[in-house]
Structure 1
Amino acid sequence: MRKSAVRVIPFLLIVVMIAVAVIPASAGPRFTEKAIPLGIHKSDEQVFAGSVQLSDDRQHITYVSKNHDGKVRVWIDGITGVAYEGTSTPRFVPGTGKVAYIAADNGNMFTIINGEKGPKNARADSLTFSPDGSRFGYRAQNNDGKVLAVVDGKPGPLFVNVLPDPGILFSPDSRHAIYIGVNEAGSQVLVKNHEPLRAFDEIKEVAFSPDSRHLAYAGRSGQDWSVIHNDTENDPYDNINGVLFSSDSSHLAYMAEKGRRVVVVKDGKEQFSGESAGIPFFSPDGTRFGFLMKKGKGWHLMMDEKKGPLIARPDKVVFSEDSRHFAYSALIGTTWAVIKDTEIVDKGLQRIRFLTFLPDSPDLLYIAVPQAGKEYMMVNGQKYSSFDSIGLPVFPPGQDAIAHVAQDGKDMFFVMGEKKEGPYRTIGIPRTQADGSVAMTSQFPFFSPDGARVAYPAIDHDNRIFMVVDGKSHEYYEAITEPVFSPDSGHVAYTAQKNGKWLVVVDGIEGEKRFDGILKGSRIVFDSPSSFSVLSLNLPGPSFYKLAVTIEKDKK
């Protein structure tokens, strides 16, 4: 069978992948399909590809179109809104299903939120929402040229400017809104819930604590920077960076500069002052505190005031899930080592490609590249089989196992414990990048919710792409997308391209509906063990659809 070349489909939202030969699909359980229109357009309408937005649950679509009259309209699931001279890109409000955008008409700008029109302004931008989606804010300019922040439709004090960075920030619990205004004197004023707090020459590093009870920021008066934590102003420094709360909201840390020295500060007290230091960090539970400190030409990792071994260059620090243990890889001399807590557990390596703790365990896993020979995976001090290249580990739900892909020579395999499937030319999905190059993605196995089943996309040495499910190869297609298992693990579905058209495949059987593309960012979403949907399109137009699939129950 012939090998096919990379195909580029001329619409930005279509999934584009390497095309290969086609073999008929196999039989499987029956299912019904219903194509629900979400916007049908004629060739004289312009749909702005960059405006297409999907809801968080990938079930709904909104976008902007322009008709021959020059007006633009926002569409939501096939229903068009009022025509305006212009609009911003519409957005789905987090957790609500509402759509919001800023519209311009007759020299005015205003918000449209869930179809409701807000007050008119000369200009408006930077529409943002609270984490729970219940509140909104944006910058506005009145007819006198003054700039203000509008929160929940209520205007704040007037300024010369409201800084777009950081813009309007909501606290994690959505109860508070802060922003920085610039007054007539040129000072920057931190405003909380429309109430001005303090004015400084400059303000930065604004942060809420995770529990929303604390507010911290850095303010500059003249040449001096200081961190203000709630109402307390800490010691002045030449500069401040990296303001960070712990996850339990109990601690505040940051880096500062004092002359030629770098200072690490925690809870208002200096923990280190020296030539250089790394950004401080906390453990996942917030109880442990660490940072890198430089000594001469080397570095030490400081954790809870205990100094680790001297290293030449550090790498990322990882914690166990309970935060009791930490580990990192580091260059010692000219070779790499693995350090767990304060002890070197492996050394003399050319490179460490990956480092993590096993789920709910103090055991360490890493991929080691030795000075000579093949790389290998180490788990709790035990060496596993070697390959030319090892992919990132995947931990199947409910199983005490580790799965990954691996390359040996020109062959790639799926590996899980002592089990090895293959060989293939590669495992994964090829995608065309913006520059026209092709990159491999999804190079890992996909497990069912119960962890008992596995699927992954593969390409053989004849350049044919197909899905492998539970060790069995499905049919060949021109392109495929990632597999998705049903909530009960009983079914697996994906989309595939055949003869230039896209279709769904459920448990190895093809659907009858055909489309020109699957929307970028869309994916199969199961809403029950026997039903799912995916968003698709047809050309010309374009026309958008939700393909709803219902799988029939097995007859006994």
Structure 2
Amino acid sequence: MDTSNWDWEKGVKVISKINDCDAETEWLTEPYASPDGEKVAVLAKTEEGFDVCVNAKAWGQTFDNAWYPRFSPDGRLTCVASTDMEWTLAVDGEPWPETYGYIWNTMFSEKGDVIAAAIQQDGTYGMAINGEQVGELYETASEFTLSADGKRTAAVVQVQSMDAADIFTFQQGCYSVAVDGQAWDIKVVNAWTPTFSPDGSRVAAQMRSSLYDYTIIVDGTPWSKNFAMVWDPCFNPKTGTVVAPVRMAGKWGMAENEQVIWDPVYFQLWEQKFSPDGNNLYAICAPQYGRWTVVHNNNTWNVLVNTMLTDLTVSPDGQRAAAAAKEKDKWTIMADDALWPQWYDMVWTPVFSPDSKHIATKVEKPGKKLTVAIDGKHYKEDFTHCWEPVFSPDSQKVLIRGVQGGKFKRIVAKVNEF
């Protein structure tokens, strides 16, 4: 997401009252903020149906139903909408020309120039990009995925029909992965999490080859080795190799192109992520039963939490990592083998500054008070609604989007103000 052309002048800007709309409304939904903080949207129930208000101005487009409003990275507002029992996606008030039996799971390319969604038509399933169906539709489809550039799609699809409780056909393999709407030739018992390489040219997925054997399948070809279980694969952005956590003899390790590179010594291992240069591999692990930390190039951190560790994030320079950590019923951020001193009722995915020096996150304080914290110190003001923070390109400022007293505010604060 390119933030270089956003307004980064320090200060507070009141965008709109979230309960205002220039149309006659019966009720409004919760607000949704654009990435740059210049827009706030609500779905509006009118006497005729549903409309959408952006900065208190209605689209003027009435639908029988509307839901799932989402802003694209380039600032366009989308929502799933229906008219006369047909569903489509509306983008800035303009519905896609094609309608479907149902549509859901809006997805965006990194830049936001491509919008995709899952579709159902006449009982068959697939994907559409910018309003056009991609390839074939299938009896069932799930795990919908869009490449980073938005040019390609992938999903797990059913390629073999079977009757209810037909366990024999199921065990022979009824599923595959469809890339750009075309299924791979192979049939498997199950498949999950199709994952694109960073350039979008390749796809890897989890695969269940029998009732008891699991492996990774890459571009339609399975690894030759099976494991007791596997988790999501990912591609090394430098070498193109595929790594995935694998379970062997009751413990978890890491495999690369089917060869085990981290011995199976962990009680759990997942959410692995490479640094942008591909030289550092991080993951969330349980070196002890019920105790969680981060492992970096097969070296575990010392700090542990006892309930949960999730949303692992790697810094742009690849030298740091952070994750949301839960100890009993409180949350904080685990970063660089240490925990932030402040604990919260909830924290969200950590965000690194472009220079990798700072970490920010949305947090919830006692009393359902929401705000933003940077490097363990939270902002001086609280909000009833708040969205994840965004750093300026020079890493010196942070964008805070929040609602106070019914007003949606766009705040640009200096990092050293925290």
TM range (shorter): 0.5 to 0.7
User: Offset at 1:402?
Assistant: 2.3
Provide closer, same or farther for how the CA distance between residues 479 and 243 of structure 1 changes in structure 2, counting only shifts above 3 A. closer
Query: Which residue in 1 is equivalent to 2:214?
Result: 299
Alignment correspondent of 2:394 = 488
Gap change, CA 1:380 and 1:329, over 3 Å in 2: same
Q: Distance in 1 between matches of 2:80 and 2:192?
A: 37
Q: CA deviation at 1:384?
A: 2.8
User: Relative contact order: is structure 1 or structure 2 higher (C-alpha 8 Å, sep ≥ 6)?
Assistant: 1
Asked whether the 8 Å contact 2:11–2:413 carries over to 1, the reply is yes
1:77 to 32, 50, 55: 55
Kindly provide the amino acid, as one letter, of the partner of residue 48 in structure 1.
W
Task: Find the counterpart in structure 1 of residue 95 from structure 2.
Answer: 136
Following the alignment from structure 1 to structure 2, what is the Cα–Cα distance between the partners of residues 264 and 65?
Answer: 41
Task: Indicate yes or no: 2:355 matched with 1:450.
Answer: yes
SS at match of 1:310: coil
How has the CA–CA distance of structure 1 residues 61 and 127 changed in structure 2, closer, same or farther, with 3 Å as cutoff? same
> Are 2:92 and 1:126 aligned?
no
- The letter for the 1-side match of 2:214 is W
Structure 1 residue aligned with 2:347, among 438, 441, 448? 441
TM-score by length of 2: 0.61
1:356 aligns with 2:273: yes
Unpaired runs of 5+ residues, structure 1, are: 1-29, 104-108, 110-122, 138-150, 153-161, 182-187, 189-202, 219-238, 431-439, 495-523, 525-533, 539-544
For residues 102-121 of structure 1, the aligned pairs below 5 Å read none
Bigger CA radius of gyration: 1
Secondary structure of 2:214's aligned partner: strand
Of the three residues 140, 159, 162, the one matched with 1:256 is 159
**What does residue 204 of structure 1 align with?**
124
Aligned pairs for 1:89-488 (under 5 A) are 89=66, 123=84, 126-129=87-90, 136-137=95-96, 151=97, 164-165=101-102, 204-207=124-127, 215-218=135-138, 255-257=158-160, 260=169, 261-262=172-173, 270-271=185-186, 276-278=189-191, 281=194, 283-284=196-197, 285-287=200-202, 292-295=207-210, 297-303=212-218, 305=221, 307-322=223-238, 324-344=240-260, 345-361=262-278, 363-371=280-288, 374-389=291-306, 390=309, 392-398=311-317, 400-404=319-323, 415-417=334-336, 420=338, 422-424=340-342, 426=343, 428=344, 430=345, 440-442=346-348, 445-455=350-360, 469-470=374-375, 481=386, 483-488=389-394
What is the CA distance between 1:324 and its match in structure 2? 1.7
Q: Which range moved further: 409-418 or 397-406?
A: 409-418
Secondary structure of the corresponding residue to residue 403 of structure 1: strand
Change (3 A) 1:474 1:47: same
State the secondary structure of the residue aligned to 2:301.
strand
Residues 1:467 and 1:309: Cα distance change in structure 2 (over 3 Å): same
Aligned counterparts of 1:72 and 1:410: Cα–Cα separation in 2: 39
SS at match of 1:387: coil
Letter in 1 for 2:296: V
Q: Percent identity?
A: 12
Q: 1:363 to 1:80 in 2, by over 3 A?
A: closer
Supply the distance in 2 between the matched residues of 1:81 and 1:280 (Cα, whole angstroms).
36
Counterparts in 2 of 1:337 and 1:50: CA distance versus 1, 3 Å: same
Q: In structure 2, what residue type is equivalent to 1:396? A: S
Deviations 1:211-243 (A, max 9, x none): 97963234xxxxxxxxxxxxxxxxxxxx77679
- With over 3 angstroms needed to count, the CA separation of the structure-2 counterparts of 1:312 and 1:478, relative to structure 1, is same
Sort the Cα spacing of 1:311 and 1:422 in 2 relative to 1 into closer, same or farther, 3 A: closer
Displacement of 1:101 in angstroms is 11
Q: Tell me which residue corresponds to 2:3.
A: none
**Residues 354 and 411 of structure 1: is their aligned pair in 2 closer, same or farther, counting only changes over 3 Å?**
same
CA apart distance, 1:71? 11
Give the number of equivalent residue pairs.
Answer: 373
* 1:341 to partner: Cα distance: 1.8
The CA RMSD measured in Å over matched residues stands at 5.9
Cα 1:50–1:290, aligned 2, differ >3 Å: closer, same or farther? closer
Range with bigger deviation, 30-39 or 281-290: 30-39
Q: Report how far residue 392 of structure 1 moved.
A: 4.1
Q: Could you tell me the TM-score, scaled by structure 1's length?
A: 0.49
Say whether the 8 Å CA contact 1:464–1:476 is kept in structure 2.
no
For structure 2, the 5+ residue unaligned runs are: 1-8, 162-167
- 2:277 partner letter: D
Q: Is the 8 A contact 1:206 1:216 kept in 2?
A: yes
- CA distance in 1 between counterparts of 2:365 and 2:143 reads 50
Letter in 2 for 1:354: E
**Cα pair 1:255 1:280 within 8 Å, conserved:** no
After TM superposition, give the deviation of residue 449 of structure 1 in Å.
3.4
Displacement of 1:48 in angstroms is 0.7
Residues 49 and 256 of structure 1: CA distance in aligned 2, closer, same or farther (over 3 Å): same
